Amino acid sequence: MTDILDELHWRGLVAQSTDEAALRSALAEGPVTYYAGFDPTAQSLHVGHMVQLLNMRRLQLAGHRPLALVGGATGLIGDPRPTTERSMQSRDVVAGWVDRIRSQIEPFLDFEGPAAARMVNNLDWTGEMSAIDLLRDVGRHFRVGTMLAKDIVARRLRSDEGLSFTEFSYQVLQGMDFRELYQRHGCTLQLGGNDQWGNLLSGVELIRKTEGAAVHAMTSPLITRADGSKMGKSEGGAVWLDPELTSPYAFYQFWLNQADADVVKYLKVFTFRTREEIAELEVQVAERPFAREAQRALAGDLTTLVHGQGATDAVIAASQALFGRGDLAALDARTLGAAVAELPSTTTSAGALVVDAFVGSGLVASKAAARRAIAEGGAYVNNTKVTSDDAALDATDLLHGRFAVLRRGKKTLAVATVD
């Protein structure tokens, strides 16, 4: 087994650990059974969850055994947020989200072989537990003073919103999860983000008090941009792993658009590229930033990991076709629709003049400017040069019966859509 802790440190993925020397020794002796939990508080995971998913995969590749916990019980409550309490969902909704999230976790892990992963659901041991059992068997091991001192709890208590007993009790349930996995599967390591440190320690302490055993917790840092802002959101909100919520095209573009100052760090955190490969891409960023080789590697690796090679190929083909380096008509409707979704747009009808579509979409300021672009040979519809002032958008020009991609010059794009 490789020294996986050194690898995680190099990638900037270790923020806190309970006893790193003891953990290093346990990992070296291995294999270690470990877990990370994912609560179904939404219908999909987002790119922020990928840090733990990839950490789980890295440990598995080093020979250790992962347990992927989907919180069918804790998802009914939700861990405390920094500002306001979560809206509770019905049991049926949460159960549906559990299934969706399980399917998103599965591609990241190997469920066969000596280090085979296992899926677990904390509703299996929490669902039938009575309130009396929880208070007698678990709650008595928690001290309220310690619970109140947890950072997220203290912040919420100072806020106007306050903190309900429901959310306050979340750390008890998470602590119980670790103990249950220790008893059932010999799990001795829990992974999480550093905002979960207090919850992770709840399990460590519960196992120490009730089992007399020393177990481990390790967190990864919050992933930020070079300017200090939180990574993981686009202008439209969260970047989801579900292709119905964030299309593979939008997912690819999110990573492609990362700044030069951030991309090398993200290659370490989010890909399995070697030190040598990342070092070479770092040279490319410094010497040929305009080529965006590092961003392309990042976007390609992650889109393939989450959505498959076919989706990545379709996205790259769409990107090339938009700028005249491919056949727009060869793109499927879903990929084309995602590719043009963020472009300036106008709604039109079959038979409308191209000049009017250019003006309506904002590609040019006036009909005179549109005619001038045509005269200069810089106006295109679906990558075909427009040669006449009175050219119209014929029904045959509409891709999938709906879209016409407008281009002025080499790089200025818009779309005309027929409803």
Is 182 assigned to a binding site? Answer: no
d(CA 43, CA 339): 24
Is 266 assigned to a binding site? Answer: no
Strands (E), 224-355: 233-234, 237-238, 345-348
d(CA 38, CA 399): 41
For residues 250 and 341, the answer to whether their CB atoms sit within 8 Å is: yes
Q: Which DSSP state fits 294?
A: H
| Dihedral angle over CA of 196, 201, 202, 204, nearest 10 | 140
Q: At 265, phi and psi to the nearest 5?
A: -60, -40
For residues 190 and 217, the answer to whether their CB atoms sit within 8 Å is: yes
Is 309 assigned to a binding site? Answer: no
Is 295 assigned to a binding site? Answer: no
d(CA 156, CA 198): 14
For residues 225 and 231, the answer to whether their CB atoms sit within 8 Å is: yes
SS3 label, residue 322: helix
Q: At 34, phi and psi to the nearest 5?
A: -140, 165
For residues 66 and 109, the answer to whether their CB atoms sit within 8 Å is: yes
| Annotated binding-site residue numbers for ATP | 233
| Annotated binding-site residue numbers for L-tyrosine | 35, 170, 174
| Annotated binding-site residue numbers | 35, 170, 174, 233
